[in-house]
């Protein structure tokens, strides 16, 4: 009997890429590292200390939230700006957002000294705390993402009545989602407004909330473009070049605004001199600016953004700029009290890698059982010119 069930469950999983099983093992190892941390405390398991109380986990969380901004950015374009031609990207993106935020919450849980009290923000309010606000916004927004994910589940069960109701209130939910996203994306920047004595002046700015908010939209677009490429070999599904081109066309505007704000902050804050006098930190800051500028130029050129491969390379430039920025703010440009350099422990790294792998596993399972890619383009339907560029040898039946 037991064997029967086992065989059946394996059959159900047929067609799932093999390496997902490997990722599942890594995820399990990562979670065990996390559980061990809960048992042993932070001192023996992490390199966090009084001189550097937040580490890799916080850097990962902030980066992840930026990339998960894909969900609110896309739903804004599709539902608010009526760009229904982008609709095919909604389901895969909403799923990524949902899982992205969930993984942030998982890591935060392991980061707390009193993880058993993770729910305390619900009953102990402090309205002036950016972290309190972020907690609430992410909690509610996760609910909204779940709602936006509902049509995928309802599709499977074909309940017309509920589907219609869901459709009716979608726009309201999307507006609420964008509002909450604007709040928590910017509030993550507010976290650093109080750290004037801690964060390097090149990065310290009253505009930090706005920097994070604006850049999260570009991060979101890079997520979608890179995701559409990954899904080619993971799920044999992708987005049309037309959609990718259109998404890419917003990057120069978003990053253009971001770069202007950054430069304005440098000039108005009379920080230009620091660009040359801060050693390695100057290099990191200039690298951020150059990556931003490179992405602006890349996506301004229609030829580059309208072919899949070039657009993905451009999206990788965006992603590099975002990762560098979030790691700079939370880690490299953050003063350690005794001047020593923090580097994460193996367990810290294991948990992050494990949670990231777990995200891919859950995504794959969801895509396996639910019509996540119901509106996307099957790889076999791609024009043959594209298949050649992608070097995909597609066995064509009857040819």
Partner 1 sequence: MAKYGFLIDASRCIDCRACLVACSVENNVPMKSTRIWIKDSGVTGEFPNLERYTAPFHCMHCIDPSCVSACTVGALQKNEDGIITYDNEACIGCRYCMYACPFEVPHFEWSKQFALITKCDLCVSRLAEGQKEPACAATCPTDAIQFGSRGDMLAMAHERIRSQPERYVEHIFGEHENGGTSTFYISPVSFDQLGFPTAETTDSPAHFNRIATEEGTPIIAAGAAIGMTGIYLALEHNGKKQAVRKTEHAEDKHDTAGKE
Name the site residues for partner 1 (rule: CB under 8 A). 38-44, 48-50, 53-54, 76, 79-82, 111-118, 120-121, 124-133, 135, 171, 174-176, 178-179, 181-183, 186-187, 189-191, 193-198, 206, 208-209, 213, 337
Name the CA dihedral angle for 136, 59, 25, 320, rounded to a multiple of 10 degrees.
120
Phi, psi of 378 (to 5 degrees): -65, 140
Q: Give the whole-angstrom CA distance, residue 57 versus residue 62.
A: 9
Of the candidates 34, 27, 61, 105, the residue with the CA atom closest to the CA atom of residue 348: 34
Between 80 and 169, CB nearer to partner 1: 80
CB of 39 to partner 1, least distance (A): 7
CB of 33 to partner 1, least distance (A): 16
- How many CB atoms are located within 10 Å of the residue 173 CB? 18
237-238 and 377-378 as β-strands: parallel, antiparallel, unpaired? antiparallel
Q: Are 148 and 174 in contact (CB under 8 A)?
A: yes
Between 21 and 115, CB nearer to partner 1: 115
Partnered with residue 237 across adjacent β-strands are 378
Helix/strand/coil for 82? coil
Between 137 and 311, CB nearer to partner 1: 137
Between 155 and 210, CB nearer to partner 1: 210
Q: Give the whole-angstrom CA distance, residue 250 versus residue 45.
A: 43
CB of 180 to partner 1, least distance (A): 8
Q: What is the CA radius of gyration of the chain?
A: 22
Between 135 and 278, CB nearer to partner 1: 135
Six-digit token pair at 270?
């009379």
Between 76 and 355, CB nearer to partner 1: 76
CB of 139 to partner 1, least distance (A): 13
CB of 162 to partner 1, least distance (A): 23
CB of 40 to partner 1, least distance (A): 7
Of the candidates 308, 300, 318, the residue with the CA atom closest to the CA atom of residue 216: 318
Between 28 and 136, CB nearer to partner 1: 136
Between 119 and 165, CB nearer to partner 1: 119
Q: Are 195 and 325 in contact (CB under 8 A)?
A: no
Distance of CA 150 to the CA centre of its chain: 20
CB of 246 to partner 1, least distance (A): 16
Q: Are 150 and 59 in contact (CB under 8 A)?
A: no
Cβ neighbours for 130, distance < 8 A, ≥ 6 positions apart: 187, 188, 190, 191, 193, 194
CB of 70 to partner 1, least distance (A): 17
Six-digit token pair at 324?
């560098």
Between 184 and 305, CB nearer to partner 1: 184
Between 65 and 311, CB nearer to partner 1: 65
Q: Phi-psi bin for 189: left (phi > 0), alpha (psi -120 to 50), beta?
A: alpha
CB of 232 to partner 1, least distance (A): 33
Q: Phi-psi bin for 41: left (phi > 0), alpha (psi -120 to 50), beta?
A: left
CB of 42 to partner 1, least distance (A): 5
Of the candidates 74, 66, 80, the residue with the CA atom closest to the CA atom of residue 92: 74
């Amino acid at each position: 009997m037991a064997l029967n069930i086992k065989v059946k469950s394996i059959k159900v999983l047929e067609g799932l890429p093999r390496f997902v099983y490997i990722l599942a093992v890594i995820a399990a190892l990562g979670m065990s590292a996390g559980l061990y941390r809960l048992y042993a405390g932070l001192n023996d398991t992490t390199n966090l200390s009084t001189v550097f109380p937040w580490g890799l986990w916080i850097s990962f969380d902030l980066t992840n939230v930026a990339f998960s901004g894909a969900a609110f950015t896309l739903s804004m374009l599709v539902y608010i700006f009526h760009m229904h031609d982008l609709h095919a990207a909604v389901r895969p993106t909403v799923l990524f957002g949902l899982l992205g935020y969930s993984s942030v919450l998982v890591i935060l849980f392991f980061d707390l000294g009193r993880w058993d009290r993770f729910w305390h923000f619900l009953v102990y309010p402090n309205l002036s705390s950016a972290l309190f606000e972020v907690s609430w916004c992410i909690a509610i927004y996760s609910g909204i993402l779940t709602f936006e994910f509902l049509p995928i589940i309802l599709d499977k069960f074909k309940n017309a009545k509920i589907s219609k109701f869901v459709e009716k209130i979608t726009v309201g939910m999307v507006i609420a989602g964008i509002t909450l996203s604007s709040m928590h994306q910017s509030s993550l920047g507010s976290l650093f407004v109080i750290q004037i004595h801690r964060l390097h002046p090149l990065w310290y700015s009253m505009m930090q909330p706005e920097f994070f908010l604006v850049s999260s939209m570009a991060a979101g677009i890079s997520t979608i473009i890179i995701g559409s490429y990954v899904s080619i070999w993971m799920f044999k599904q992708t987005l049309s070049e037309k959609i990718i081109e259109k998404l890419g066309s917003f990057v120069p505007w978003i990053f253009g605004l971001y770069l202007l704000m950054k430069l304005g902050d440098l000039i108005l804050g009379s920080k230009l001199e620091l660009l040359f006098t801060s050693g390695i930190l100057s290099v990191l800051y200039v690298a951020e600016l150059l990556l931003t500028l490179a992405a602006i130029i890349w996506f301004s050129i229609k030829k580059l953004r309208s072919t899949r491969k070039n657009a993905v390379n451009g999206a990788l430039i965006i992603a590099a700029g975002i990762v560098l920025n979030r790691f700079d703010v939370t880690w490299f440009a953050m003063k350690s009290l005794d001047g020593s350099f923090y580097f994460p422990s193996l367990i810290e790294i294991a948990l992050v890698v494990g949670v990231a792998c777990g995200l891919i596993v859950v995504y794959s399972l969801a895509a396996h059982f639910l019509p996540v890619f119901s509106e996307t383009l099957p790889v076999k339907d791609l024009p043959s010119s594209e298949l050649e560029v992608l070097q995909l040898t597609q066995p064509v039946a009857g040819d």
